[in-house]
C-alpha cells in the first residue's frame, strides 16, 4: 500500500528549504500532497494561485528525479483534516533548528490527539538550507536584495516579474 504524506505551510514564497523537504520526503512516502494553507483574512506576499503554480513546477522536478508522486492542493481547514481528506497517513514537517522543534513538537501533540491515526514525521533541513526562511526572503526582496541563493529559479523569476 502506498504511503501518502501531507506537507502543509503557507509557502509564501516557496524556498529552497521547502524544496529540500519535498525532495527528501521521497525517502519516507510514495506520494506527497503539498498543502498550501489559505487564510482568507491574510494577504500573501504571493497570491495563493501563484504559490500553487510555483510549487507544482517545483514538485514536477522532484517527481522526475525521485519517482515520488507529488500533488499540490490548497486547504482552509485543520491540517489533520486536510491530510485525512487526501488519504495521508503521515504529516511531514521540516525542522531548521531547536525553535522549530519546540513549536512542531507541540503541534504534533495536538495533531496526534485530534488524529491518532496520522503519524507526524520530522525531517531535519539540510545544512545548506537550514537557515532559509520565507520571512527573510520577503524582507530581502522588499529591500531590493538578491534572493536567488534562497529560492528556486522559478520563484525568483516570479517575484522579479511582480515588481
Q: Choosing from 56, 96, 112, 126, which is the catalytic residue? A: 96
Q: Residue 125's closest CA among 22, 32, 20?
A: 20
Is residue 18 annotated as a catalytic residue, yes or no? yes
Is residue 42 annotated as a catalytic residue, yes or no? yes
Is residue 96 annotated as a catalytic residue, yes or no? yes
Rounded CA gap, 138 and 143, in Å?
Answer: 9
Q: Choosing from 40, 42, 43, 163, which is the catalytic residue? A: 42
Q: Choosing from 8, 25, 134, 141, which is the catalytic residue? A: 134
Residue 106's Cβ-count burial label (10 Å; 0-12, 13-18, 19+) is: exposed
Q: Choosing from 8, 18, 51, 59, which is the catalytic residue? A: 18
Is residue 157 annotated as a catalytic residue, yes or no? no
What's the distance, CA 150 to chain centroid? Answer: 14
The DSSP line for 19-61 is HHHHHHGGGT-SEEEEEEE--TT---SS-HHHHHHHHHHHHHH
Rounded CA gap, 148 and 131, in Å?
Answer: 14
Active site residue ranges: 18, 42, 96, 134
Amino acid at each position: 500500500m502506498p504511503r501518502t504524506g501531507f506537507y502543509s505551510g503557507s509557502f509564501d514564497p516557496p524556498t529552497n528549504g521547502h524544496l529540500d523537504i519535498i525532495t527528501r520526503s521521497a525517502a519516507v512516502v510514495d506520494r506527497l500532497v503539498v498543502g498550501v494553507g489559505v487564510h482568507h483574512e491574510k494577504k500573501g506576499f504571493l497570491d495563493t494561485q501563484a504559490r500553487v503554480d510555483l510549487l507544482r513546477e517545483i514538485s514536477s522536478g522532484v517527481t522526475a528525479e525521485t519517482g515520488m508522486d507529488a500533488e499540490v492542493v490548497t486547504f482552509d481547514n485543520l491540517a489533520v483534516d486536510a491530510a485525512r481528506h487526501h488519504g495521508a497517513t503521515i504529516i511531514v514537517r521540516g525542522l531548521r533548528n531547536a525553535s522549530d522543534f519546540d513549536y512542531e513538537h507541540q503541534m504534533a501533540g495536538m495533531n496526534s490527539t485530534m488524529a491518532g491515526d496520522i503519524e507526524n514525521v520530522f525531517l531535519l533541513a539540510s545544512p545548506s538550507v537550514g537557515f532559509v526562511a520565507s520571512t527573510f526572503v520577503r524582507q530581502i526582496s522588499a529591500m531590493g536584495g538578491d534572493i536567488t541563493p534562497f529560492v528556486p529559479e522559478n520563484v525568483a523569476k516570479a517575484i522579479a516579474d511582480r515588481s
